[in-house]
Structure 1
Amino acid sequence: MSIAIVGAGIIGASVTYHLKKTGYNDEIDVYEKLDAPGEASTSLCAGGARNLWSTSVNLALATESLRRFASFKEETGRTIGYENIGYLFCLYEEEYKQIEGFLPEWKKYGVNAELIPAERISDFVPKLIPDVDDEVKELLNIKPFRGALWGKDCCALNPTSCTTAMFDCAKEMGGIELHLGTEVEKIIIGGGKVKGLEMKNGEKINCDRCVVAAGTWSGVLLEKSGVDIPIVPIKRMLFTVYLPPELGFEHIPMTIIDRGVYFRVEAGNLLVGRAKEDQEPGFDTTVENKYYVDEMNPYMQVRIPGTEYCRILSSWGGLYAVTPDNNAIIGEYPGIDGLYLITGFSGHGVMEAPAAGRALAELITEGEYKTIDLSPLSIKRFKEGKLIKETIVI
C-alpha cells in the first residue's frame, strides 16, 4: 500500500527511516514545502535532549531516544554533533522536594540522574551563586536554590544533521522519494479512508495512507482536510550571545536557572532561551531582542557575575506545535483509515524523535506498538478527558 509522509523535519525523517528498518517495502513519498529537510522548526531549536520528565510516556520515549542518539554513529556510520553534556536544573526548595518524589520512578526507566546540594552547583557552572541578597530576590521574585538536578545522560546534538542522516539511510535502503519544495494543500478523505493528497498547485496524488508530521502546520493542513486537531503555534525565541572567556564555561551542561532561563555553550558562544509566558498563539516569528535584555539576562546577571557582558550576537524565532497538555499526538485518527498523526510535540520533538518514529512505524506495519505503547498519546484523550499533564516543561 502506498504511503505519503507530510513533513521532512526530524519527526518525518524518523518515521521514514524506521518504516524502512521495519521492512516496509512499498514506495514512501515524503512531501516538504521547504527546499531542504529539517529546515523549519527542526533547524531552529536549541538542540538539547533530556529524559527528565514527570510522565511515564515521556520518560519512555526520551530515555530510549537518548540511547539511540548516543549510539547513532555506531548504528548508521553518521555523525550528528552528539555531545553528552548533561542537563542541570537549578531548583528551589519546593521543586527539589518534587524531584525527590520522581527519582524512584526514574530509576525504573534507567534514568541516570541525581540531586546535588546547592554548594556543588558551581562545580558544574563556575561562579553560579545559589543565593542572592533579599532586595534582589524581591525585585526579581526569585528564591535561593536548594540544589540542582543533574541529568547525566542528557545531551546536545545537531537536529538538522540527524534529520539528513536518517533520510540518507532510508534512501540507501531504497523505495524513498523526497519531494522538496512541494506543499500539500489538503488530504483527500472519502468514505472514512485516506484517498490521496491535493497539492498547492492543484495536482492530485493517490495514496492509501498518510502520516502527518508537519509540526506547527499540521493543524492548518488537517483543518483544510476537514479534520479537527487541537494544535496551536507558539513562538519561542533563541539568542546567541557573547561568552566572556573569564567565565570558564567551556564544558558546562545545559543549565536551567530562574524563570526557565536556559543556556548552553555552542560554537564558543552562549545559546540562551526562555519561554515567554504570555505569548499569544500565531505564526509570527519576529524576534524581540528586548525580551533577552529585560526578561532573560537580568536573571543571568544576579546568578553569574560577568554575564552582564553577554551581548546579543544573533537571534531568531521559531515555533512550538502546542497541544492542550503539552504532549504529542501520535497514532491513527479515529474513524479515518490510513490517517496517522505524529505531531504536536510542544517543544520536545527532537528529544523523542527516534523512539516516537519507530513506534509509529510499528503501528503502521504491524498494527500495534511493539517497543513503547503510545496509545495514551492518541488524539482520543482530549475527548475522553484523559490528558497527560507534563509538569517539567521549559
Structure 2
Amino acid sequence: MSISVIGAGIIGASVTYHLKKLGLKEKIDIYDRLDAPGEGSTSLSAGGARNLWSTPLNIALTTEALKRFAEFKKEIGRGIGYEKIGYLFCLYDKEYKEIEKFLPEWKKKGVNAELIPAESISDFIPGLTPEVDDEMMELMEIKSLKGALFGKDCCAINPTSCTTAWFDCAKEMGGVEIHLGREIEKIIIEKGKVTGVEKTDGERVACDICVVASGAWSGVLLKKSGVDIPIVPIKRMLFTVYLPKELGFKHIPMAIIDKGVYFRVEAGNLLVGRAKEDQKPGFDTTVENKYYEDEMNPYMQVRIPGTEYCRILSSWGGLYSVTPDNNAIIGEYPGVDGLYLITGFSGHGIMESPLAGQALAELIAEGEYKTIDLSPFSIKRFEEGNLIKETIVI
C-alpha cells in the first residue's frame, strides 16, 4: 500500500504524523505546490485555538487539541510557541443570556469557561468600555455589553512550527518524503479506485490511497479529478498594527469585540482580523488596508480609547476553505476506494488539526474511527441534509 498526501500544511502534517505513530510501515509521499511546509494558509492564520463552539463534535475536537498543544513540547520534543492566553468573547444581552443557558453543558464536556460581568471586562482588556451612548449605538449599529465569555484554556500557537514538528517526527519514524514545489494536477481514479496522482508536468505517480488535505484548493483539484465537493475559497485578511505601550496590553486574551473584530498581542504588536461579510468566493488574496481603517479600527476606538493610534505595520490576505455549514469534510469519498478527504475546515483547521488528523489516520490504517467518531463530517451529510450547524464562527 502506498499513500499520497496532497497538502503540506498543518492538516497534512497531522495525518502523516499520526499514520506513522500508528506504526504504518508503508511509504508516504506528501506533495505541495509551495516551497516549504506550512507556507500557505497555515502560516497566514491568526494561530488561535479555542474550544468555545456550539456543536459537540467541534467542542470535542478542540478541547482535546488544547490539551495536546499544551503538552506538545513534552510529547514531541519541539516547541510551537504555545501560550495559554485565553479567549474573551464580548457579549450583548441576548448572546449573554444564550451562553448562560448552555454554559453548564459546556462544563460537562470539559470546557473551562466562565461568564464575566461587564464591569470586569477591563480586568482582561485594559480600558475597554462596556457602555456606549445612544448616538454611537445607532451610528455604529452596536450595543452596550452585558458581559463576556472567557475561555480559560484557549491558546495561541505558531502553526508553522507545529507543522514542521509533525513532519520532522514523521520523517524520523521513516518512510516519509515531502515533495515541495510539486503541484498535483489531478488524482487518477480508475474503475472506482484511486490508482495514482498526476503532477502538473504530466508525470504520474502510482498510489493506492490519496489524502486530500489541500484546503482552499481542494475543490479545484477534485473537480479536475472528476469529483465534486462543496468547498469554496474565501479571502480573510489580517493586520499587524502598532501597539502603544500606554494601552497596557502586555498580557491580554484573544479578544472578540463588536462585529467580530478580534485581536491579540503578537511580538509586541497587535494582530487584528475580521471576516468581511460580503467577501465573494475566489482565490484573490489582495489585502485591503482600507478595510481595517474603515471597518475594523473604528470599533476598536469606540471600545478602547487610544486604539486610534494602532496604525498598520503590515498586512496580508489568506484563504479559508469554506463549506455550506462551516465545518470540515472528513472521511473516505463514497464510491471511490482510497480517496480520503480532510479539508474545508472553514477557519478552524489549526485548532482541530491534532485530533482530526489522528482520526483520519485511524480510518486509513485500521478501517474505523477509534479515538473519536467523525462520521458526521462525511461529505454524505450534504446530500442527506444532515448539516452540522455551527453558530460560533469568527
When normalised by structure 2's length, the TM-score is: 0.99
Please say if residues 325 and 387 of structure 1, whose CA atoms lie closer than 8 Å, have aligned partners that are also in contact.
Answer: yes
Partners of 2:94 and 2:353 in 1: CA distance: 31
Rounded Cα–Cα distance in structure 2 between residues aligned with 1:364 and 1:109? 28
1:266 and 2:258 correspond: no
- Matched-pair contact (CA < 8 Å) for 1:255–1:263: yes
Q: Which residue of 2 aligns with 1:143?
A: 143
Q: Which residue of 2 aligns with 1:300?
A: 300
Q: Give 1:104 shift.
A: 2.3
2:27 equivalent to 1:27: yes
Match of 2:98 in 1: 98
Amino acid at match of 2:369: Y
CA positional deviation for 1:105: 2.2
For 1:84, the equivalent position in structure 2 comes to: 84
What's 1:323 paired with?
323
Please give the secondary structure, in 2, of the residue aligned with 1:114.
Answer: strand
% same residue: 80
Following superposition, the deviation at residue 363 of structure 1 comes to 0.5
Deviation at residue 51 of structure 1 after TM alignment: 0.4
How many residues in Structure 1 have an aligned counterpart in Structure 2? 394
CA distance in 1 between partners of 2:230 and 2:248 (Å): 44
Extract structure 1 runs of 4+ deviating beyond 6 A: none
| Structure 1: distance between partners of 2:148 and 2:260 | 13
Report the residue type matching 2:32 in the other structure: E
Equivalent residue number for residue 168 of structure 1 = 168
- Partners of 1:286 and 1:316 within 8 A in 2: yes
1:185 alignment partner, SS class: strand
Q: How does 1:308-347 map to 2 (within 5 A)?
A: 308-347=308-347
Whole-angstrom CA distance in 1 between matches of 2:367 and 2:202: 33
Q: Output aligned runs, 1:202-221, within 5 Å.
A: 202-221=202-221
Superposed CA offset, 1:316-366 (max 9, x none)? 000000000000000000010000000000000001000100000010011
Distance 1:101 1:54 in 2: 12
Work out the CA distance in 2 between the residues paired with 1:205 and 1:109. Answer: 44
CA distance, structure 1, for counterparts of residue 385 and residue 101 of structure 2 = 25
Deviation per residue, 1:126-160 (Å, 9 max, x gap)? 00000111111110000011000000000001000
Is residue 359 of structure 2 the alignment partner of residue 359 of structure 1? yes
Question: 2:4 matched to 1:4?
Answer: yes
What is the aligned partner in structure 2 of residue 39 from structure 1?
39
| In structure 2, C-alpha distance between the alignment counterparts of 1:251 and 1:202, rounded to whole Å | 52
Aligned equivalent of 2:123:
123
Shift of 1:101: 2.3
Distance 2:283 2:145 in 1: 36
Q: CA deviation at 1:237?
A: 0.4
Contact 1:29 1:178 in 2 (8 A): yes
What amino acid maps onto 2:98 in structure 1? Q
- Return the letter of the residue paired with 1:61: L
2-side partners of 1:168 and 1:106: how far apart?
A: 35
Matches of 1:111 and 1:368 in 2, distance apart? 27
Alignment-derived partner of residue 185 in structure 1:
185
Q: Distance in 2 between matches of 1:102 and 1:341?
A: 32
Superposed CA offset, 1:272-293 (max 9, x none): 0000000000000000000000
Structure 1-normalised TM-score? 0.99
Partner deviation per Cα, 1:242-262 (whole Å, 9 max, x = no partner): 001000000000000000000
Q: What is the CA RMSD across the aligned residues, in angstroms?
A: 0.5
CA distance in 2, matches of 1:137, 1:241: 26
Tell me the distance in 1 between the aligned counterparts of 2:342 and 2:325: 15
Q: Take 1:94 and 1:169, find their aligned partners in 2: how far apart are those partners?
A: 47
Query: 2:41 and 2:301 mapped to 1: Cα distance?
Result: 29
Equivalent-residue separation in structure 2 for 1:63 and 1:100 (angstroms): 19
Separation of aligned partners in 2, 1:362 and 1:99: 34
After superposition, residues 248-263 of structure 1 pair within 5 angstroms as 248-263=248-263
The CA distance in 1 between the partners of 2:207 and 2:330, in whole Å, is 20
> Which position in structure 2 is the counterpart of 1:132?
132
Secondary structure class of the residue paired with 2:36: coil
Query: What amino acid does structure 2 have at the position aligned with 1:42?
Result: T
Q: How far did 1:102 drift?
A: 2.4
Q: Aligned partners of 2:24 and 2:104: how far apart in 1? A: 39
User: Does residue 384 of structure 1 match 2:384?
Assistant: yes
Amino acid at match of 1:314: S
Offset at residue 108 of structure 1 (A): 2.2
User: Does the CA-based 8 Å contact 1:54-1:102 persist in structure 2?
Assistant: no
Q: Measure, in 2, the Cα distance between the counterparts of 1:354 and 1:161.
A: 14
What code does the residue aligned with 1:293 have? E
How many angstroms does 1:97 deviate by? 1.2
Q: Give 1:48 deviation, angstroms.
A: 0.4
Q: Secondary structure at the match of 1:84?
A: coil
Aligned twin of 2:74? 74
- CA–CA distance in structure 2, aligned partners of residues 75 and 50 of structure 1: 21
